[in-house]
Structure 1
Amino acid sequence: MTEDLALELAGTIRHDGHGGVADDLTVADGLTGWVRDRADRLGSWAADFTADEETHTRVLALRAAVRALFARAVLPGPPSPADAHRLLPFDEALRRVNAAAASVTVTLELEWRPDGAGPTARTTPAPVPAHDGLPAALARATVDFLAGPHRANLRACTAPRCVRYFVQGHGRQQFCKTSCGNRARAARHYERHQNERPR
């Protein structure tokens, strides 16, 4: 599903496994690989995509906006600690996503299927260079995600040092992955035993 791209874009900032935060898109080559890995959802152009510095900068700015909007969406829960101290103001984040989404013209067409199933609507983006189309596609995925049914289940992982957002699959799910749940239980166990030791 294309709206998953918004969650995946936000997830390019992640726990590095050593107590810090990793950024999969630190350099333009990281964006190149990330886009090519998602060619099945972005379109045929993505298989040969090579990020330039301008597109890289635009996608990083969009990602900051997406993470700020995700932080707003999880309220009253806490945002991801990766950027909670430096989130974009809500109005700026909203402006960035909407501007990127509007940067490519989309045509709405009515199709009448010959099998008797009746009419369907189809949107077709105007042909644009991949470097212009990528931020628009990611922004539209964000709009689809935040305006869709999954937003209500968006959560920030509460495991120590995790910085990801995830869609809660069931009411008791607190962590994005099993490994985060294991890490949280280990941290609680350690803290409990530290508090039980005589001073």
Structure 2
Amino acid sequence: MEHLALALALAATIRHGGQSGVADDLATLTGFAGWIRQRSDRLGEDVSHVDDEQTWHQVLDLRRALRSLFARAARPGPPSGADADRLLDPDIALRQVNAASAVARAPQLAWPEGGAPRVWHRTAAADPRTRLVAALASAAIDFLGSEEASRLRACPAPRCVRYFVREHPRQTWCKPSCGNRARVSRYYRRHRE
């Protein structure tokens, strides 16, 4: 499930930003560095030295490829409105994700005090920047290759730009507030006509 959480977290760095429209949590190098540090436990990497521009741009490119593949996985539903007009060709997106993850990986076991054991894969690359991008790409591959990917949807609520995994067959929105927003929008449309 770690791959699911990490892949969705990367895709969710593009989100609804309130009245301002779409917000990008990775829009700045500082935002990128903070986002990576918050997920260091999931990445299984020392991320203290990966907040450089080159790595930031590599992760932005990976996110664009991932969201393009999410749009493909969410078919026949529509893609997220945030980037529907900027999606990569699926073959290009696949090549980018595969290339980013193309480093040797070895399973590692972590067992925090008082917690449950957790398996993660450490990349053999010496450069922590390469390992970081590879870990994100590997999480995306693990998620998109899992059964969970068949339940991936783009939230159809007005102004929502998230992808989510349906927990039950009748789930339509990523969260209850999106369902409320959609119902209110329908109500106002009906009463204006």
Distance 2:162 2:146 in 1: 20
Q: Distance in 2 between matches of 1:142 and 1:59?
A: 12
CA change 1:22–1:66 in 2 (3 A) is: same
Q: Percent same amino acid at aligned positions? A: 55
Q: 1:74 to 1:141 in 2, by over 3 A?
A: same
Q: Deviations over 1:113-148 (max 9, x none)?
A: xxxxxxxx9954215222111110000000000001
Aligned to 2:100: 100
Q: Which residue pairs with 1:65 in the alignment?
A: 65
**SS of the counterpart of 2:27?**
coil
Q: Which runs of 5+ in 1 are unaligned?
A: 110-120
Name the SS for the 2:23 alignment partner. Answer: strand
Aligned residues: CA RMSD: 2.0
Counterpart of 1:151, as a letter, is A
Name segments (4+ residues, structure 1) moved above 3 Å.
Answer: 121-124
Q: Secondary structure at the match of 1:166?
A: strand
Partner of 1:22: helix, strand, or coil? strand
Residue type at the aligned position of 1:88 = L
* 1:96 counterpart SS class: helix
Instruction: Give, in whole Å, the separation in 2 of the partners of 1:178 and 1:49.
Output: 38
1:2 deviates by 2.5
- Cα separation, 1, equivalents of 2:125 and 2:99: 18
Structure number, greater radius of gyration:
1
C-alpha distance 175-56 of structure 1, shift in aligned 2 (>3 A):
same
Seen in structure 2, the aligned counterparts of structure 1 residues 60 and 123 have a Cα distance that, compared at 3 Å, is closer
Where do 1:2-17 residues align within 5 Å? 2-3=2-3, 4-17=5-18
- What does 1:15-54 align with in structure 2 at a 5 Å threshold? 15-18=16-19, 20-46=21-47, 48-54=48-54
What does 1:1-199 align with in structure 2 at a 5 Å threshold?
A: 1-3=1-3, 4-18=5-19, 20-46=21-47, 48-102=48-102, 104-107=103-106, 124-195=122-193
* CA 73–188 in structure 1, closer or farther in 2 if over 3 Å, else same: same
Q: Measured at CA, do residues 126 and 85 of structure 1 come closer, stay the same or move farther in structure 2, by a change above 3 Å?
A: same
Give distance in 2, aligned partners of 1:127 and 1:19.
40
1:13-71 CA deviation, whole Å, 9 max, x = no partner? 0111115111000011111111111122111513x344110001000000000000000
- Give yes or no for contact 2:45–2:128 (8 Å, CA) kept in 1: no
TM-score (norm 1): 0.86
The answer for unaligned runs of 5 or more in structure 2 is: 109-118
Conserved in 1, the CA contact under 8 Å of 2:50 and 2:128?
A: no
CA distance in 2, matches of 1:23, 1:146: 23
